[in-house]
Amino acid sequence: MLEERKDHIADLVVVANRLPVRREQGDDGESGDWTVSPGGLVSALAPVVADKKRFAWVGWPGSSEAPLEPFTHDGMRLVPAHLTAEEHELHYEGMSNGTLWPLYHDKIEPAEFHRTWYDGYRRVNRRFADLICDSAAEDATVWVHDYQLQLVPGYVRANRPDLSIGFFLHIPFPPSELFRQIPWREDLTIGLLGADLIGFQTPEGAANFARVAESLDLATRESANLLSRNGRPIEVRSFPIGIDVERYAEGATRPEITAGAVAVRERLGNPRSVLLGVDRLDYTKGIDVRLRAFGELLAEERFAPGEVNLIQVAEPSRGNVDAYVALRERVQGLVGEINGDFARVGVPPVHYIHQSQDFDELMSLYRSADVMMVTPFRDGMNLVAKEWVATRYDDTGVLVLSEFAGAVHELDRALIVNPYDIDGVKEALVRAVLMDPAEAAERMAAMRASVEQNNAVKWAESFLQALAETSGPQAS
């Protein structure tokens, strides 16, 4: 009986590849205290968790050192999933980031298919599923996140049919033609279909998945957003993720942030315009596109060095995966080329920061920028675009946004570009720099309203509400 096992405790179990904490290095070089990593998911869930005392989060603790027992931090029950170094390599670097990530992002880089990677992925998904089954109270709700864990809903359902299971994919779900290339397409689809509710960032993602499930003959379509498998209903819908708007909006008005932004511009020599990009160093983000566009505008003397500067923050990411190593070299090469061609002493046109920024540094950069460049080739949502808009309390600044970012549905008053069209990106950058402040303000006000309306907490609440309705008694 479940009740007899005291570890079946949580009414809500959130499952993501990473735990929402990281371990600081202690003074002695050993692992020190845990601190909460300020991700979107943690802030989205904060109010939900506050009135859910019996809550648990299952995830990888960030290292393959000795297994850790479940522990409580900041009121959250954390259940670490222990992975050996080899499992981490096969599951995370291999199948997750060498196969699924590129394939789900339109194969901007080739996706590799290796049976050993998939075996590791299966093993790790199984481990997460076992931890969930051990942590969840009878009839509890389980919310599984992202592409690293697509087999988990199926595994959990097989062991614990009493649970309500939701799954949310943070990245795009690809068109059927791409997805069907995966040798394990049936397994992955069946895994996802183990959920009662499958959420996507956009309606296209939801439609792509429904088409895949139908075309592989693994589910029947009941209506636009409803599939069924073996008579069990499965809702498939979009839930565009939001941000913690207050954190960014309030942060932006703090005097030290304003002073920080002024200092950034001073250090740049008070140029007429500051262009900013902030991304993980990832080949999906189109960092090279904007560098090339900027370099050409300098070469054509449409931008003058010293008058228009570009700051690119590229947070180190997935540095053990080959495609990321190659991207780093490509980006560094482009930055070096542009600065070599156009710098004067003390005035390099590109400032490239391959480091992660703390919140205040990021806010100062956000506030220092006139133009924000978000030009991914493909992106599930892109929260940087929303964060930046949230900091424009004075309705200044222009967002240049790729039509292939999920955020374009809500931020449709940005200057929208096709990142494959360098000339189009160049025109948009010139237009952004020259835009009349009244037009910029009108566009920004509309975008700010949209970001404020759909914040992270509403996103989490609407998903959990839909899950309760889908898997509740009225649905069966």
Regarding 317 and contact with ligand G6P (CB under 6 A), the answer is: yes
Residues paired with 350 in a beta bridge: 310
**Is 130 a residue of the active site?**
no
Between residues 318 and 392, which has the closer beta carbon with respect to ligand G6P?
A: 318
Least separation in angstroms between residue 243's CB and ligand G6P is 13
Return phi, psi of residue 364, to 5°. Answer: -65, -40
Q: Which of residues 152-171 bind ligand G6P (CB under 6 A)?
A: 170-171
Q: Which of residues 4-63 bind ligand G6P (CB under 6 A)?
A: 17-18
Between residues 101 and 184, which has the closer beta carbon with respect to ligand G6P?
A: 101
List the one residue from 146, 196, 379, 387 that touches ligand G6P (CB under 6 A).
146
Q: Which of 170, 196, 244, 370 is catalytic?
A: 170
Residues paired with 198 in a beta bridge: 167, 236
Least separation in angstroms between residue 18's CB and ligand G6P is 6
Tokens 């097989």 appear where? 158
Least separation in angstroms between residue 259's CB and ligand G6P is 31
Buried b (16+ CB within 10 A) or exposed e, 193-221: bbbbbbbbbbebbbbbbbebbeebebbee
Between residues 54 and 354, which has the closer beta carbon with respect to ligand G6P?
A: 354
Least separation in angstroms between residue 40's CB and ligand G6P is 9
**Is 196 a residue of the active site?**
no
Least separation in angstroms between residue 339's CB and ligand G6P is 28
Regarding 88 and contact with ligand G6P (CB under 6 A), the answer is: no
How many residues of this chain bind ligand G6P (CB under 6 A)? 7
Between residues 37 and 396, which has the closer beta carbon with respect to ligand G6P?
A: 37
Between residues 171 and 193, which has the closer beta carbon with respect to ligand G6P?
A: 171
Least separation in angstroms between residue 5's CB and ligand G6P is 30
Contact assessment for residue 447 and residue 413, using Cβ atoms and an 8 Å cutoff: yes
Regarding 77 and contact with ligand G6P (CB under 6 A), the answer is: no
Contact assessment for residue 319 and residue 284, using Cβ atoms and an 8 Å cutoff: no
**Interaction mask 170-209, ligand G6P, x per CB under 6 A:** xx--------------------------------------
**Interaction mask 240-259, ligand G6P, x per CB under 6 A:** --------------------
Regarding 318 and contact with ligand G6P (CB under 6 A), the answer is: yes
Regarding 127 and contact with ligand G6P (CB under 6 A), the answer is: no
Least separation in angstroms between residue 427's CB and ligand G6P is 30
Least separation in angstroms between residue 380's CB and ligand G6P is 6
Between residues 100 and 210, which has the closer beta carbon with respect to ligand G6P?
A: 100
Between residues 209 and 294, which has the closer beta carbon with respect to ligand G6P?
A: 209
Residue nearest to ligand G6P (CB): 170
Between residues 86 and 423, which has the closer beta carbon with respect to ligand G6P?
A: 86
Enzyme catalytic residues: 170, 379
Chain contacts with ligand G6P (rule: CB under 6 A): 17-18, 146, 170-171, 317-318
